[in-house]
Structure 1
Amino acid sequence: MSLKKFALVMFLATYLITPAFAQRDTISLNTIITKTAKYINSYPIEKVYLHLDKPYYSAGDTIWFKAYVTIDKHQLSGLSNIVYVDIATNQDSLVKQIKLPVVNGVANGNIILSPAAYKQGNYHLRAYTGWMRNFDNDYFYHKNIAIGNIIQNNVNAYITYNTTDAGGKPKISAAITYRQPGEPQLANKKVSWSITNPAGDEISKGKGTTDQNGVVTVVLNENATASLKNTTLTTSIDLGNRKESLNKFPLNAAIAQRDVQFFPEGGELTLGVRSKVAFKAIGANGLGLNIKGTITDNTGTVVAELASQHLGMGVFALLPEDGKTYKANITFPDGVKTTYDMPRIKPAGICLAVYNNDPDNLNIKLTANDPYFKANQGRIYYLVAQNGGAIYFAAQTKLENQSYSAAIPKSKFPTGIVQLTLFTERGVALSERIAFIKHNDMMNLTLTPDKKAYGVRQKVKLSILAKNSTAPVAGEFSVSVVDESKVPSDENAETSIFSNLLLTSDIKGYIEKPNYYFISKDADVDANLDILMLTQGYRRISYRNIITDKLPQIYLYPEQDGLEVMGTLRNNTGMPISKGNLRLQIAGKNLNAETVTDMVGNFKFSKLNFPDSSQITLSARNNPNSRNLTIAVTGDTYQPATKNPYMQDEVTDIDSSFKTLLTNSKRQYDNLHILKEVVIKSTSLVKKPSHTDYGIFSGLPVMADQQIAGARFKDCNNLLVCLPSMLLGVMVEDNNLYFMKNASNSNRLPLQVFVNGRPMDFATLTSMSGNDVETVEVFKTDGLSNINRNYQSDGIVSIITRKIESSKITYAQLQEMLPKGNLLTYNAQGYSVAREFYSPKYDLLKQGGGFGGDLRSTIYWAPKVKTDKTGITSIDYFNSDSKGTYRATIEGIDADGNLGRYVLRYTVK
Structure 2
Amino acid sequence: MKRKTIPILVILVISLISFNSHGQDGNTTEIPLTDNINFYSPEKTYLHTDKDMYMAGDTIWFKAYLLDGLTHKKSPKSRVVYVELLDSRDSIVDKRRLYVEDISGYSAIPLPKKIQNGSYGLRAYTKFMLNDAVPYFQNVLPVFQDHTSLKEFSDDLVHNSVKTKNLSMYQEDRTIQIHFFPEGGTLVAGLSTTLALKITDADGNPLDLEGAILDSNRKTVAHFKSDEGLALVYFKPKTNTSYYAMIHDDAQRKYFLPPVSTKGYSLSVKNRDENIIVQMESTEKNGLDGTVVKGYMRGGKIIEHKVDSGQESFYALKIPTKDFPNGMARFTLDNKKGEPICQRTIFVDNKTKEPRLSINISPDKPFKNERTNLSISIKDSMGTPIKGDFSVSITPLENQIHHSGMKDWFLLESDFIGTINNLTIDRIGFELSKPIMDAFMLTKEREGFILNDLEDNNRSVGTSNPEKGIMISGKVTCSANNEKMSERIVSLSILENAYGETQVVDKNGHFSFGPYVFNGKATAILQLKNKNDFPKDSIIVDPTWPKITKNMPHNTENPYLIATHHTSKDYNSDYDHIKSEDYQPGMTYLNEVVVKEKRKTIDQIIMEEINSSVPYSHPDVRVFRDSIPGWYGMSAIDLLARKGFRISGDYPNQSISLLGGSPGSIKNGTGPLVLVDGVPAKGLLNTLRASEVLFIDVLRFASATLYGSRAASGVIAVYTNRTLLSSDYGPSDTGMVKLEIQGFDENTDFKPATLGLNGKNEGTLYWDPKIEMDASGIYSMEFFSGNQIGKYVIEIKGITENGQIVNESRTFEVSL
* Aligned residues of 1:70 and 1:105 also touching (Cα < 8 A): yes
Alignment partner, residue 44 of structure 2 = 47
Return closer, same or farther for 1:410/1:577 CA change in 2, 3 Å cut-off. closer
* Aligned residues of 2:5 and 2:33 also touching (Cα < 8 A): no
Return closer, same or farther for 1:459/1:703 CA change in 2, 3 Å cut-off. same
Alignment partner, residue 778 of structure 1 = none
Alignment partner, residue 141 of structure 1 = 137
Alignment partner, residue 386 of structure 1 = 296
Report matched runs for 1:320-335 at 5 Å.
320-329=237-246
| Per-residue CA distance 1:394-425 (angstroms, 9 max, x = gap) | 46344634444553322142222222222334
Match of 1:585 among 458, 482, 494: 494
* Residue 307 (1) aligns with residue 233 (2): no
* Residue 410 (1) aligns with residue 318 (2): no
* Residue 373 (1) aligns with residue 284 (2): yes
Q: Per-residue deviation at 1:482? A: 0.8
Return closer, same or farther for 1:683/1:134 CA change in 2, 3 Å cut-off. closer
What one-letter code is carried by the residue in structure 1 that aligns with 2:812? Y
Q: Percent identity?
A: 23
CA distance in 1, matches of 2:23, 2:502: 53
Q: Per-residue deviation at 1:438? A: 2.0
Match of 1:559 among 444, 463, 467: 467
* Residue 541 (1) aligns with residue 451 (2): yes
The TM-score normalised by the length of structure 2 is 0.70
Q: Per-residue deviation at 1:387? A: 1.7
Alignment partner, residue 385 of structure 2 = 472
* Residue 634 (1) aligns with residue 542 (2): yes
* Residue 618 (1) aligns with residue 526 (2): yes
Q: Structure 1: where are the runs of 5+ without partners?
A: 161-172, 174-256, 655-681, 722-753, 769-818
CA distance in 1, matches of 2:785, 2:257: 58
Alignment partner, residue 483 of structure 1 = 396
Match of 1:434 among 341, 345, 350: 345
CA distance in 2, matches of 1:127, 1:336: 51
What one-letter code is carried by the residue in structure 1 that aligns with 2:102? N
Return closer, same or farther for 1:149/1:574 CA change in 2, 3 Å cut-off. farther
Return closer, same or farther for 1:626/1:859 CA change in 2, 3 Å cut-off. farther
Return closer, same or farther for 1:823/1:317 CA change in 2, 3 Å cut-off. same
Match of 2:674 among 693, 714, 722: 693
Q: Per-residue deviation at 1:598? A: 3.8
What one-letter code is carried by the residue in structure 1 that aligns with 2:57? G
* Aligned residues of 2:295 and 2:304 also touching (Cα < 8 A): yes
* Aligned residues of 2:721 and 2:728 also touching (Cα < 8 A): no
Return closer, same or farther for 1:269/1:112 CA change in 2, 3 Å cut-off. farther
* Residue 351 (1) aligns with residue 351 (2): no
* Residue 396 (1) aligns with residue 307 (2): yes
Q: Per-residue deviation at 1:344? A: 3.2
CA distance in 2, matches of 1:346, 1:36: 39
CA distance in 1, matches of 2:439, 2:220: 23
Q: Per-residue deviation at 1:74? A: 1.1
Return closer, same or farther for 1:383/1:590 CA change in 2, 3 Å cut-off. same
* Aligned residues of 2:293 and 2:332 also touching (Cα < 8 A): yes
What one-letter code is carried by the residue in structure 2 that aligns with 1:109? S
Q: Per-residue deviation at 1:511? A: 1.4
Return closer, same or farther for 1:468/1:646 CA change in 2, 3 Å cut-off. same
What one-letter code is carried by the residue in structure 2 that aligns with 1:49? Y
What one-letter code is carried by the residue in structure 2 that aligns with 1:61? D
Q: Per-residue deviation at 1:10? A: 5.4
Match of 2:502 among 575, 592, 595: 595
CA distance in 2, matches of 1:876, 1:393: 52
Q: Per-residue deviation at 1:650? A: 3.5
What one-letter code is carried by the residue in structure 2 that aligns with 1:86? E
CA distance in 1, matches of 2:113, 2:676: 38
* Aligned residues of 1:578 and 1:599 also touching (Cα < 8 A): no
- Secondary structure in 1 aligned to 2:278? strand
Match of 2:374 among 444, 454, 462: 462
Return closer, same or farther for 1:883/1:416 CA change in 2, 3 Å cut-off. same
What one-letter code is carried by the residue in structure 2 that aligns with 1:319? K
* Residue 517 (1) aligns with residue 426 (2): yes
Q: Per-residue deviation at 1:134? A: 0.9
* Aligned residues of 2:22 and 2:308 also touching (Cα < 8 A): no
Return closer, same or farther for 1:95/1:765 CA change in 2, 3 Å cut-off. farther
CA distance in 1, matches of 2:410, 2:192: 34
Question: Number of matched residues?
Answer: 665
CA distance in 2, matches of 1:98, 1:22: 63
- Secondary structure in 1 aligned to 2:435? helix
Alignment partner, residue 203 of structure 1 = none
| Per-residue CA distance 1:842-894 (angstroms, 9 max, x = gap) | 256xxxx4x4x33x222111112233765333333322312233211111112
- Secondary structure in 2 aligned to 1:530? helix
Q: Per-residue deviation at 1:611? A: 4.9
* Aligned residues of 2:542 and 2:727 also touching (Cα < 8 A): no
Q: Per-residue deviation at 1:300? A: 4.0
- Secondary structure in 2 aligned to 1:821? coil
Q: Per-residue deviation at 1:25? A: 9.8
Q: Per-residue deviation at 1:347? A: 1.4
Return closer, same or farther for 1:488/1:70 CA change in 2, 3 Å cut-off. closer
* Residue 883 (1) aligns with residue 789 (2): yes
* Aligned residues of 1:8 and 1:390 also touching (Cα < 8 A): no
Q: Per-residue deviation at 1:433? A: 1.2
Q: Per-residue deviation at 1:314? A: 1.2
What one-letter code is carried by the residue in structure 1 that aligns with 2:263? A
CA distance in 2, matches of 1:755, 1:639: 30
What one-letter code is carried by the residue in structure 1 that aligns with 2:674? D
Alignment partner, residue 79 of structure 1 = 77
Alignment partner, residue 502 of structure 1 = 411
* Residue 444 (1) aligns with residue 351 (2): no
The TM-score normalised by the length of structure 1 is 0.64
Alignment partner, residue 419 of structure 1 = 330
Q: Per-residue deviation at 1:767? A: 4.9
What one-letter code is carried by the residue in structure 2 that aligns with 1:281? I
Alignment partner, residue 828 of structure 1 = 741
Q: Per-residue deviation at 1:108? A: 1.5
Alignment partner, residue 799 of structure 1 = none
- Secondary structure in 1 aligned to 2:368? coil
* Aligned residues of 1:17 and 1:408 also touching (Cα < 8 A): no
* Residue 707 (1) aligns with residue 686 (2): yes
Alignment partner, residue 295 of structure 1 = 213
* Residue 263 (1) aligns with residue 181 (2): yes
Q: Per-residue deviation at 1:612? A: 6.4
Alignment partner, residue 661 of structure 2 = 684
| Per-residue CA distance 1:27-85 (angstroms, 9 max, x = gap) | 9967x766998865641122112222223334333332212111132112231111123
Q: Per-residue deviation at 1:149? A: 3.8
Aligned Cα root-mean-square deviation (Å): 4.5
Return closer, same or farther for 1:66/1:757 CA change in 2, 3 Å cut-off. closer
Q: Structure 2: where are the runs of 5+ without partners?
A: 161-172, 565-658, 695-715
Return closer, same or farther for 1:535/1:447 CA change in 2, 3 Å cut-off. same
Return closer, same or farther for 1:630/1:422 CA change in 2, 3 Å cut-off. closer
Return closer, same or farther for 1:35/1:298 CA change in 2, 3 Å cut-off. farther
* Residue 18 (1) aligns with residue 8 (2): no
Match of 2:561 among 635, 651, 660: 651
CA distance in 2, matches of 1:649, 1:87: 20
| Per-residue CA distance 1:471-500 (angstroms, 9 max, x = gap) | 22321111011122x33544xxx2222111
- Secondary structure in 2 aligned to 1:454? coil
Alignment partner, residue 576 of structure 2 = none
- Secondary structure in 2 aligned to 1:552? coil
Return closer, same or farther for 1:290/1:86 CA change in 2, 3 Å cut-off. farther
Report matched runs for 1:158-169 at 5 Å.
none
Q: Per-residue deviation at 1:98? A: 3.6
Alignment partner, residue 112 of structure 1 = 110
Alignment partner, residue 569 of structure 2 = none
